[in-house]
């Protein structure tokens, strides 16, 4: 499978430069121009893809040479290129931050990096920043940059004049309310909570067009082998998945894998529903239960239904926010306490700063489940973990708890990295952790 298509890695010197909104606005501009745009996100992230899906009107998948694997990166991009007119990849953090970084992914796929540089309070130094990003890694092509948040047309001219030979200013984006999007402690506000998101994106697309960002990036050639389908390890297994404003951190690739393994998926809202569909297994994914503690605690019919599922010994996976819902008490940012499921003893309480961040893997006899951790709450429980993740980078490893067919952890797993393990969890099979050897994170 092979294709040639215009493509760019939208990146930045660091977080907070505005690359997420620039990526979304570019996707919306080209979509409004009649092009099919496919957008991808480097690394673990649930919130940016929600906005990017609205902007492009197409699914957004994660790409990460370690978490998703290099072969999957090649396949997803090449598969998308078969009928798309443009591919955009939004980087994470700064261009060279992390291992593997956004730069590593760009080099792997042969896609030029297009840095977005916040130019507030900057003139000739803009050229130095652009030159540094372009020359830091000679194997990474950087031909153009975008100046963001400029103060005037003259400011844009000064930035353009500062650039060294070989680097072009693709566009200079003025400060404009349309280019802002609200955020909170875990990142952007969820797309579904922004009632005017479509109007914002259309306005942002016009801002970029006026700034000269109405052209297509250079074409690249992508090539990959089509992967073999996974075995039907979940054939006929019914899985009910919580999905609403409190539980929304779900990778599309995870859903795709469950369906490809034969599972029958249904969705329910722990906030609004009084029961969930007849099911063999439950999945409570991550999200923002701390913002909805009173509603969750007040929905007693739903809490009783989930407790009955657990008491019957049926499989249940609880990730991060799902774990927080499983304990006896959830203390929110305001110090308010909410009595939740009580499947696990203890309390989850929100903290004033990040408690865990980084790529991690869960090493078992059924395979290595790769993923990440990212949370602002602390857990106190008497349960002893049945396993612990191993960190690739970042903070300490996460405990993985298990009892009565419940598997619960702050760890977010990328299911395609370990299909056999994932199938076993949803069939109620015990996790068999590796304890005698160090995992290979290469």
Is 326 catalytic? The answer is no
- Provide the β-strand partners of residue 7: 87
pLDDT value for 346 = 95
pLDDT value for 394 = 62
pLDDT digits (tens, 9 = 90+) for 240-276: 999 999 999 999 999 999 999 999 999 999 999 999 9
pTM more than 0.85: yes
Structure tokens at 37: 């745009």
pLDDT value for 441 = 40
Is 305 in a helix, a strand, or coil?
A: helix
Name the residue with tokens 């040479």: 65
pLDDT digits (tens, 9 = 90+) for 201-230: 999 999 999 999 999 999 999 999 999 999
Those residues of the chain that have pLDDT short of 70 are 182-189, 191-193, 195, 354, 393-395, 436-442
CA distance 392 to 6: 33
Instruction: Give me the DSSP letters along 192-237.
Output: GG-TTHHHHHHHHHHHHHHTT--SPPPEEEEE-PPPPPPP-TTTT-
Catalytic residue, candidates 87, 106, 320, 325: 320
pLDDT value for 375 = 81
Residue ranges of domains in the chain, CATH in brackets = 2-223 (3.40.50.300), 238-426 (3.40.50.880)
pLDDT value for 112 = 95
């Amino acid at each position: 499978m092979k294709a040639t298509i215009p493509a760019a890695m939208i990146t930045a010197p660091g977080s907070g430069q505005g690359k997420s909104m620039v990526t979304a606005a570019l996707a919306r501009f080209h979509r409004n121009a009649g092009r099919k745009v496919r957008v991808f996100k480097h690394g673990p992230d649930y919130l940016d893809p929600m906005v990017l899906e609205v902007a492009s009107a197409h699914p957004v998948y994660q790409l990460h040479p370690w978490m998703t694997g290099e072969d999957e990166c090649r396949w997803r991009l090449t598969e998308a290129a078969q009928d798309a007119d443009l591919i955009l990849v939004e980087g994470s953090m700064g261009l060279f931050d992390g291992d593997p970084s956004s730069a590593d992914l760009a080099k792997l796929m042969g896609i030029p990096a297009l840095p977005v540089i916040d130019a507030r309070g900057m003139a000739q130094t803009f050229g130095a920043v652009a030159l540094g990003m372009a020359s830091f890694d000679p194997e990474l092509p950087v031909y153009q940059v975008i100046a963001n948040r400029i103060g005037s047309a003259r400011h844009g001219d000064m930035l353009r004049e500062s650039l060294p030979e070989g680097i072009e200013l693709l566009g200079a984006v003025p400060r404009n309310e349309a280019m802002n999007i609200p955020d909170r402690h875990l990142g952007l506000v969820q797309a579904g909570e922004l009632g005017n998101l479509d109007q914002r994106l259309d306005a942002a697309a016009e801002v970029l067009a006026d700034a000269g960002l109405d052209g297509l990036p250079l074409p690249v050639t992508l090539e990959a082998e089509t992967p073999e389908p996974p075995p039907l390890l979940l054939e006929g297994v019914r899985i009910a998945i919580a999905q609403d404003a409190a539980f929304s951190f779900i990778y599309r690739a995870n859903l795709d894998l469950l369906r490809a393994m034969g599972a029958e998926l249904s969705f329910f809202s722990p906030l609004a529903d009084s029961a969930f569909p007849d099911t063999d297994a439950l999945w409570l994914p991550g999200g923002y239960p701390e913002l909805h503690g009173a509603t969750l605690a007040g929905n007693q019919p739903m809490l009783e239904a989930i407790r009955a599922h657990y008491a019957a010994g049926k499989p249940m996976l609880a990730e991060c926010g799902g774990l927080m819902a499983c304990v006896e008490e959830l203390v929110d940012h305001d110090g308010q306490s909410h009595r939740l499921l009580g499947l696990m003893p203890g309390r989850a309480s929100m903290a004033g700063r990040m408690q865990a961040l980084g790529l991690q893997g869960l090493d078992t006899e059924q395979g290595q489940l790769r993923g990440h951790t990212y949370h602002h709450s602390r857990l106190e429980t008497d349960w002893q973990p049945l396993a612990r993740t191993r960190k690739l980078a970042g903070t300490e490893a996460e405990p993985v708890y298990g009892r009565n067919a419940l598997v619960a952890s702050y760890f977010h797993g990328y299911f395609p990295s370990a299909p056999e393990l994932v199938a076993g969890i949803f069939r109620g099979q015990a996790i068999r952790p590796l304890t005698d050897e160090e995992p290979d994170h290469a």
